[in-house]
Amino acid sequence: MYGFENSGNIWSILIGILIAAIIIFLICREFFCWYWKINRIVALMEEQNSLLRQQLSIFISSFSNIDKNFQKIILNENENSQSNELSQSGVNISV
């Protein structure tokens, strides 16, 4: 009566067009990713991130070693200044 007799046919055509559009999109996406070297750029950035993580771990470990050495120096200076103060006050301490 109003042209709804073939609505099943219309739905199958719409689904076919949708599937074709998705396939065309995926093909174009792969082409443009290849053309602009996006996949290669992503791989290089991931490698760069891993190298930066390695550098950070090395920096943190060296910084903690420096911090330990710095604490030893400060402790030695404090001990020396305390022994100097005691020797100036007339107290003799031999270690």
pTM summary value: 0.50
Q: How confident is the model at residue 86 (pLDDT cuts 50, 70, 90)?
A: low
Q: Which residues contact 87 (CB under 8 A, 6 or more apart)?
A: 93
Residue 2 has what pLDDT?
A: 57
Residue with tokens 């420096």: 66
Q: What is the pLDDT of residues 9-64, one digit of tens each?
A: 899 999 999 999 999 999 999 999 999 999 999 999 999 999 999 998 888 887 77
Q: Which residues contact 93 (CB under 8 A, 6 or more apart)?
A: 83, 86, 87
